[in-house]
Structure 1
Amino acid sequence: MLTILLYDYVPDILQRREPVRPGHLALIREYYEAGRLRLAGAIGEPIHGGLLVFTDEASAAEFVLRDPYVLNGLVTAHRIEPWHVVIGA
């Protein structure tokens, strides 16, 4: 079982994320390299949210508390859910 973190973003995310995006991507890289994060990316066209797949719930919850997108008001809501994978790598 994995854990997903779903973000809803502010409508003007593409404009507002630029100052904090390097920190957000660095945090993603940190969790990925530590083996705690499997996948991450934006949702929608235009982008309206994000999806991150973690190895456990604690990692997802900790990530939210550290994420520059959350700390700077770019995330309007988030959910952490267990993901019961049926098939996949």
Structure 2
Amino acid sequence: MHYLLTYHYTDDYLERRGAYRDQHLRLGWEAHERGQLLLGGTVGAPAHSAVLVFVCDSAQTVEDFVQADPYFQHGLVRSHTIQPWSTVLGATASTPVYPAKPA
């Protein structure tokens, strides 16, 4: 199952992230190496939020990532949401749906 994690950052996120960025990136790459995190990155210019795409069996895996993330622990994340994402198109879709074949 795919999950979307959305972070909404504080207004001073860009000024404060430097102290925690290496730890945050390390956590993300470790999740990627375990096959849990497919993609992640900021949204906006300047960045005001982030979206991370997970593939795992439970939203708890994503919540565990949030709780371990220094950005969350140090208050750079104003709020976050975790939503199941029903993927139907693409090589890695969790529930692929194909068009009907013409008669």
Measured against the shorter chain, the TM-score band is over 0.9
Name the Cα RMSD after superposition: 1.0
Percent identity between matched residues is 44
TM-score by length of 2: 0.82
Corresponding residue number in structure 1 for 2:25? 25
- Between Structure 1 and Structure 2, how many residues are aligned? 89
Question: For residues 43 and 20 of structure 1, what CA distance do their matches in structure 2 show?
Answer: 18
Question: For residues 12 and 73 of structure 1, what CA distance do their matches in structure 2 show?
Answer: 10
TM-score by length of 1: 0.94
Unaligned runs of 5+ in 2: 92-103
Question: For residues 69 and 90 of structure 2, what CA distance do their matches in structure 1 show?
Answer: 27
Q: Computing the radius of gyration over CA atoms, which structure comes out larger, 1 or 2? A: 2
Question: For residues 33 and 73 of structure 1, what CA distance do their matches in structure 2 show?
Answer: 26
- Report the secondary structure of 2:19's partner residue: coil
Corresponding residue number in structure 1 for 2:101? none
Cα distance, 1:46 vs structure 2: 1.3
Of the two structures, which has the highest relative contact order with CA contacts closer than 8 Å and spacing of 6 or more?
1
Corresponding residue number in structure 1 for 2:100? none
Cα distance, 1:45 vs structure 2: 1.2
Corresponding residue number in structure 2 for 1:52? 52
Structure 1 segments (4+ residues) deviating >3 Å? none
